[in-house]
């Protein structure tokens, strides 16, 4: 029996990275996310990464969890790409 002072290590393991990533990324609704890819095992699993950085031979692909930051990145570094406006919630 564990006390309050001793940590309980008998908890069930966390979700696998794949299922947690799928769950987190499924909530993304901005049209900019159509221009991203999932992270590789060596990249931050909380981010989505720019699909065009690899095509343009940029050394480090850009990754973020923010739609606004990804939109700014694509407009700044991949200006030929057009991102559609999101539909209004109203």
Q: Rounded to whole angstroms, how far apart are CA atoms 78 and 18? A: 29
CA angle, 22 then 28 then 54, to 5°: 75
Residue 11, pLDDT > 90, answer: no
- For the four alpha carbons of 35, 40, 43 and 47, in that order, the dihedral sign comes to positive
Distance of CA 12 to the CA centre of its chain: 25
* Global pTM value: 0.63
Count Cβ atoms within 10 A of the Cβ of residue 71 and give its class: 0-12 exposed, 13-18 middle, 19 or more buried: middle
Higher pLDDT, 53 or 17: 53
Least confident window among 13-22, 25-34, 38-47, 80-89 = 13-22
Domain boundaries, the chain: 31-77
Q: What mean pLDDT value characterizes the chain?
A: 75
Residue 43 CB neighbours (<10 A): 15
Residue 2, pLDDT > 70, answer: no
Q: Rounded to whole angstroms, how far apart are CA atoms 84 and 65? A: 19
pLDDT mean over 70-85: 90
Residue 27: the pLDDT is: 65
Residue 18: the pLDDT is: 38
């Amino acid at each position: 029996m564990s006390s309050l002072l001793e940590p309980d290590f008998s908890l069930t393991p966390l979700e696998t990275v794949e299922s947690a990533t799928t769950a987190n990324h499924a909530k993304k609704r901005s049209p900019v996310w159509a221009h991203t890819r999932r992270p590789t095992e060596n990249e931050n699993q909380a981010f989505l990464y720019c699909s065009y950085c690899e095509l343009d031979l940029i050394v480090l692909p850009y990754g973020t969890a923010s739609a606004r930051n990804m939109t700014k990145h694509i407009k700044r570094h991949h200006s030929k790409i057009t991102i559609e406006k999101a539909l209004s919630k109203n």
